[in-house]
């Protein structure tokens, strides 16, 4: 009898103990990431899953508000960039502790900066701060004051700190001790990652309640987008951060208000011709590709409106520039996408000696105009775009061959052998400051895709872009920088080394169970305000 | 059973006839994009609806089947000939040649096919027309698909060489090419025929697999592989069940090939 009573008591104890656990799991945010994070060291984060973990766990000195696109104070209550542009002084928030209880101080900021700039670490975040030869000097000027001095001026210096998660100099847990809203509690390799609320998180809401509202975040590793959609429909996850137009339409058609279109994003899709002098292309083809009129004619023969409407189901916008209209400050609003005008295209080509003969466009040497465009296999949107371009270009007598290649083969051709004619790819852009694209626009840059690593600029307009990009990088006058960047956009619009096709919209899906979500165009679209998100159960509890 | 085989052959003939007369049956060109009606449901103008780019699905199905049904047997014939030459010679000559050929066959069979095909496809010239690309794809399949069949043929040739019939032929003075041509090859024909019929559906499905990876036949030319790519998205398929038609036809055609092959084996 005693044994039976003991068993019942144990059972009760188990049930009572499990009750809070159930309540906790009920207040758990769940979403999918495409792969396992490669690192938990925020200074080494380079892949999307690692960046997600960094965003959710890392405490930063200031944060770029994804909605207003303005910097807001976080661990730094105030900051000032020096006139010379190579130093920044922070006033730090007092009485802040890491997730393991270690106090936060200016020493942690100094330690983080030293680690970040350590050449042996090869930090991708640190690369943005490398302005020139020399050491980064940190000077603690008070209990909550620190100045970081770089060897040379850095434009947009303050905004770069949005990516720098502060590490603890003293904690035994090293990078696992965090200052952000969550800490990594469990990592089941290949399956999921569990983040729990940081008990020492400094931020509180207007009513004085400690943030974040949600107790834990579970990141399920799921590569299959179809499965992700099914799980959202079943209520197993709370949002999908980035959605394809196809899935967006399906969700919208189901009637439930889950699909969100935050408008045009920073990402662009573009094609370019190979203009590398040493490429194994016949001379007549190189002459076509280096001709501005030829590139303009091809551009005007592509129906961007149709691409946006058919391929992206209306969730994209014809692109005009290398800066998206989502980038409110830097986009040159005077520029309009090139119109679809095949008549004008043929006139331009005629001036260059091309002629249309029985439906086939021929150059002055009698060569039929035919070229191939390569794109990465498996990307349906790009394959569809290329097929639409194929039909559009047939309208001016150009034969376009679409070739899909696996990604390594494609990179080999565009970056090493230069054995290709045209390429269609996209640019995923996270940075608002155009200075981040120096590695694309300088003629000497490796990512100057149409003709990389030039010793001297091959054309006058590339030389002008070089000058403008250097001049905007050496001034801190926002007006002057804007003028220079506007001019670069104009040159690119005129010369079309990249033929910009569309800017995709930022699409996401949010379950009705998730509250306070305001998806935006900048990454991370849905959980950028993670502190303020609440789940249905939490809303009910608050009432 | 005989009636089932007859029905299978009738089905194959009807499918082949429909494909060959695609120009007359198809309501539109397989490449024409009706951009105002992408992803349309079946209508009078588009009996199987339209695809993502507004292309008529029925037309693409007819032309796609033509591509696969013409070129898969061609590739199967190529691989069967290669298997006959390589396997037959190894089995007939025996000794070091057989050992060498069998070692090469083992090596060939142990290669990761899909990756090899992807690599070879990536090495090909870029500026080829869609028709050339499809011929290249199937030629590659034919050139790479001989190994398994060569093993079977080698074993069969070896058995034949040791048979009483060949012993008798040798005793009557027959040797070398004459022995091979008059006595071995005619007796290998049923095995070769069976290998050919097995290879046809295998190549159709391999091209479909390459198509699913986006590495099959170049746009805008359709093939069964490119048509089956539409089934990648489970949620869209459940909303548009008519997208299953190419899959149903692939299954039916491959099954009919197998039934026809069984008949060949019975004859053999």
pLDDT in tens, A126-165: 888 877 778 899 999 988 999 999 988 888 889 999 999 9
Closest-CA residue to B108 (of B125, B83, B88, B84): B83
CB contact under 8 A, A306 and B35: yes
- Residues of chain A neighbouring B219 (CB-CB closer than 8 A): 383, 386-387, 390, 402
- Interface test with chain A among B52, B120, B129, B213, by most A beta carbons within 10 Å: B52
Among the partner-chain residues A246, A378, A401, the one whose CB lies closest to the CB of B128 is A401
| pLDDT at residue A11, rounded to an integer | 45
Residues B52, A311: C-beta atoms closer than 8 Å: yes
A91 has which bridge partners?
A78, A145
Give contacts of B 56-115 with A, CB under 8 A. none
* Main-chain dihedrals φ then ψ at residue A499, nearest 5 degrees: -95, 100
- CB distance from A417 to chain B under 8 Å? no
Instruction: Report the percent of chain B where pLDDT is more than 90.
Output: 27
- How much is the pLDDT for A14? 43
Which of A179, A190, A166 has its CA nearest to residue A56? A179
Cα–Cα nearest to A371, from A347, A353, A352, A396: A396
Q: Å from A375 to nearest chain B CA?
A: 10
Q: How many interchain CB pairs under 8 A, A with B?
A: 81
Choose from B136, B218, B229, B238 for mutation: most chain A CBs within 10 A. B218
In this structure, what token pair is assigned to residue A292?
């501005």
Nearest CA to CA, how far is A405 from chain B (Å)?
A: 6
Residue in A closest to B130 by C-alpha: A401
Instruction: Tell me phi and psi for residue A280, to 5 degrees.
Output: -80, 45
Which of B130, B133, B213 minimises the CB distance to A377? B213
> How high is the pLDDT of residue A18?
41
Can you list the residues of chain B whose pLDDT is less than 50?
Answer: 267-268
Structure tokens at A183: 């800490």
Q: Do B118 and A403 touch (CB under 8 A)?
A: no
| CB-CB neighbors (< 8 A) of B235 in chain A | 226, 229-230, 247, 250
* Confidence at residue A21, expressed as pLDDT on a 0 to 100 scale: 37
Phi, psi for residue A254 in degrees, rounded to 5: -70, -10
Position A1 scores a pLDDT of: 44
Do A248 and A259 contact (CB within 8 A), yes or no? yes
Q: What is the CB neighbour count within 10 angstroms for residue A67?
A: 14
List Cβ neighbours of B13 (8 Å cut-off, separation of 6 or more).
none
Alpha carbons A448 and A418: distance in angstroms, whole number: 13
Whether B127 sits inside 8 A of A421 (CB atoms) is yes
pLDDT tens sequence for chain A (543 residues): 445 444 444 444 444 444 333 333 449 999 999 999 999 999 999 889 999 999 999 999 999 999 998 999 999 999 999 988 889 999 999 999 999 999 999 999 999 999 999 989 888 888 888 777 788 999 999 889 999 999 888 888 899 999 999 999 999 988 899 999 999 999 999 899 999 999 999 999 999 999 999 999 999 999 888 889 989 989 999 999 999 998 898 888 887 689 999 999 999 999 999 999 999 999 999 999 999 999 999 999 999 999 999 999 999 999 999 999 999 899 999 999 999 999 999 999 999 999 999 999 999 999 999 999 999 988 889 999 999 999 999 999 999 999 888 888 899 999 999 999 999 999 888 788 998 888 899 999 988 999 999 999 999 999 999 999 989 888 888 899 999 999 999 999 999 999 999 999 999 999 999 999 999 999 899 999 999 999 985 544 443
Residues A40/A176, Cβ–Cβ less than 8 Å: yes
Give chain A's count of helices (H) and strands (E): 17, 21
CB of A367 within 8 Å of a chain B CB? The answer is: no
Chain centroid to Cα A176, Å, comes to 25
Integer Cα distance of B66 and B74 in angstroms: 12
Q: Are A204 and A210 in contact (CB under 8 A)?
A: yes
Interface of B with A in 9-48 (CB under 8 A): 31-33, 35, 38
> What kind and span of H or E run contains B189?
helix B185-212
pLDDT at B265: 54
Across the strands, what pairs with A402? A373
Spatial distance between the Cα atoms of A325 and A264, rounded to a whole number of angstroms? 7
B-chain residue closest to A312, CA distance: B52
Cα first-last separation, chain B: 17
What is the reported pLDDT for B237? 62
Q: Whole-angstrom Cα distance, residue A244 to residue A139? A: 47
Q: Where are the beta strands (DSSP E) in A202-307?
A: 216-221, 239-240, 259-273
In chain A, residues with a C-beta closer than 8 Å to the C-beta of B215 are: 377, 404-406
Q: So what's the pLDDT on residue B236? A: 62
Q: Give the phi and the psi of residue A501 in degrees, each rounded to 5.
A: -100, -65
Residue A25: what pLDDT? 42
- So what's the pLDDT on residue A128? 81
Alpha helices in A119-244, H assignment, sequence order: 124-127, 157-160, 225-233
Burial of A383 (0-12, 13-18, 19+ CB in 10 A): buried
CB of A157 less than 8 A from some CB of B: no
Give the ipTM of the model, two decimals please: 0.78
Number of Cα atoms under 13 Å in the Cβ half of residue A459:
17
| Residue B62 distance to chain A (closest CA, Å) | 19
Q: What does the alpha-carbon distance between residue A249 and residue A142 come to, in Å, rounded to a whole number?
A: 55
State whether residue A306 sits within 8 Å of chain B by CB: yes
The radius of gyration of chain B from alpha carbons, rounded to an integer in Å, stands at 22
* Non-local CB neighbours of A29 within 8 Å, separated by 6+ positions: A214, A216, A217, A218, A238, A514, A527, A533, A535
CA distance A23 to A540: 12
**How many whole angstroms separate alpha carbon A231 and alpha carbon A229?**
5
Searching chain B, which residue's CA lies closest to the CA of residue A380? Answer: B214
Nearest to B215 among A230, A379, A404 (CB): A404
Interface test with A, best of B37, B212, B219 (most A CBs within 10 A): B219
Torsion, CA A336, CA A341, CA A346, CA A348, rounded to 10 = -20
Q: Taking the C-alpha atoms of A350, A351, A354 and A356 in order, what is their torsion angle to the nearest 10 degrees? A: 0
pLDDT in tens, B17-55: 999 899 999 999 999 999 999 989 999 999 999 999 999
Residue contact A420–B126, C-beta within 8 A: yes
SS3 A318: strand
Burial of A432 (0-12, 13-18, 19+ CB in 10 A): buried
| CB contacts, 8 Å: B127 with chain A | 370-372, 401, 421
């Amino acid at each position: 009898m005693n044994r039976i009573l003991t068993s019942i008591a144990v059972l009760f104890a188990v049930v009572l103990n499990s009750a809070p656990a159930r309540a906790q799991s009920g207040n758990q945010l769940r979403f999918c990431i495409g792969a396992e994070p490669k690192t938990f060291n925020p200074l080494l984060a380079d892949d999307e899953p690692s960046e997600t973990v960094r965003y959710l766990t890392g405490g930063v000195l200031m944060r770029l508000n994804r909605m207003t696109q303005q910097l807001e104070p976080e661990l730094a209550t105030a900051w000032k960039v020096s006139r010379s542009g190579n130093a920044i002084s922070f006033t730090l928030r007092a009485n802040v502790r890491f997730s393991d209880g270690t106090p936060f101080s200016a020493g942690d900021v100094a330690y983080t900066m030293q680690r970040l700039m350590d050449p042996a670490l090869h930090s991708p975040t640190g690369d943005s701060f490398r302005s020139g030869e020399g050491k980064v000097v940190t000077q603690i000027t008070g209990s909550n004051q620190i100045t970081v001095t770089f060897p040379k001026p850095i434009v947009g210096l303050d905004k770069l700190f949005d990516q720098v998660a502060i590490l603890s100099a003293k904690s035994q847990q090293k990078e696992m001790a965090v200052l952000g809203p969550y800490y990594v509690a469990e990592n089941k390799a290949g399956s999921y990652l569990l983040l729990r609320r940081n008990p020492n998180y400094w931020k509180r809401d207007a009513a004085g309640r400690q943030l974040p509202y949600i107790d834990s975040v579970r990141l399920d590793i799921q590569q299959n987008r179809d499965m992700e959609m099914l799980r959202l429909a079943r209520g197993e996850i709370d949002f999908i951060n980035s959605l394809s137009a196809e899935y967006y339409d399906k969700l919208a058609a189901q009637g439930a208000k889950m699909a969100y279109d935050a408008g045009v994003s920073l990402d662009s899709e573009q094609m370019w011709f190979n203009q590398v002098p040493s490429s194994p292309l016949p001379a007549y083809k190189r002459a076509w590709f280096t001709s501005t009129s030829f590139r303009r004619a091809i551009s005007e023969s592509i129906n961007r409106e149709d691409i946006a409407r058919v391929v992206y189901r209306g969730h994209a916008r014809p692109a005009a520039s290398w800066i998206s209209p989502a980038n409110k400050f830097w986009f040159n609003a005077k520029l309009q996408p090139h119109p679809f005008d095949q008549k004008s295209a043929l006139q331009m080509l005629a001036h260059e000696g091309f002629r249309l003969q029985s439906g086939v466009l021929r150059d002055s040497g009698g060569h039929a105009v035919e070229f191939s465009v390569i794109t990465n296999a498996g990307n349906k949107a790009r394959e569809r775009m290329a097929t639409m371009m194929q039909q559009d270009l047939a309208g001016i007598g150009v034969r376009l061959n679409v070739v899909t290649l696996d990604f390594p083969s494609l990179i080999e051709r565009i970056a090493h052998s230069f054995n290709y004619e045209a390429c269609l790819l996209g640019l995923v852009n996270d940075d608002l400051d155009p200075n981040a694209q120096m590695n694309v626009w300088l003629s000497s840059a490796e990512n100057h895709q149409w003709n990389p690593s030039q010793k001297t600029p091959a054309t006058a307009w590339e030389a002008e872009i070089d000058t403008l990009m250097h001049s905007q990088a050496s001034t801190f006058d926002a007006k002057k920088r804007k003028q220079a960047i506007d001019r670069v956009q104009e040159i690119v619009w005129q010369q079309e080394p990249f033929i910009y096709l569309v800017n995709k919209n930022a699409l996401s899906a949010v379950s009705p169970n998730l509250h306070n979500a305001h998806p935006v165009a900048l990454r991370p679209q849905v959980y950028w305000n993670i502190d303020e998100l609440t789940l249905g159960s939490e809303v009910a509890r608050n009432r | 059973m005989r009636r089932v085989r007859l029905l299978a052959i009738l089905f194959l003939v009807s499918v082949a006839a429909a494909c060959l007369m695609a120009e007359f049956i198809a309501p539109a060109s397989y490449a024409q994009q009706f951009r105002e009606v992408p992803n349309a449901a079946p209508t009078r103008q588009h009996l199987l609806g339209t695809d993502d780019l507004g292309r008529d699905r029925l037309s693409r199905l007819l032309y796609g089947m033509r591509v696969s049904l013409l070129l898969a047997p061609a590739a199967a014939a190529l691989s069967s000939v290669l298997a006959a030459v390589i396997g037959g010679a190894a089995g007939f000559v025996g000794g070091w040649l057989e050992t060498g050929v069998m070692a090469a066959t083992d090596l060939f069979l142990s290669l990761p096919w899909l990756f090899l095909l992807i690599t070879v496809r990536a090495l090909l010239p870029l500026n080829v027309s869609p028709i050339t690309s499809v011929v290249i794809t199937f030629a590659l399949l034919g050139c790479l698909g001989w190994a398994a069949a060569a093993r079977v043929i080698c074993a069969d040739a070896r058995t034949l060489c040791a048979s009483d019939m060949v012993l008798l032929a040798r005793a009557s003075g027959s040797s070398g090419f004459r022995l091979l041509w008059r006595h071995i090859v005619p007796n290998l024909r049923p095995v070769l025929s069976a290998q050919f019929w097995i290879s046809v559906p295998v190549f159709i499905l391999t091209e479909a697999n390459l198509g699913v990876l986006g590495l099959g036949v170049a746009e805008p030319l359709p093939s069964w592989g490119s048509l089956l790519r539409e089934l990648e998205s489970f949620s869209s398929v459940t909303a548009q069940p008519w997208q299953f038609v190419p899959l149903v036809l692939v299954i039916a055609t491959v099954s009919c090939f197998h039934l026809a092959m069984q008949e060949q084996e019975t004859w053999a």
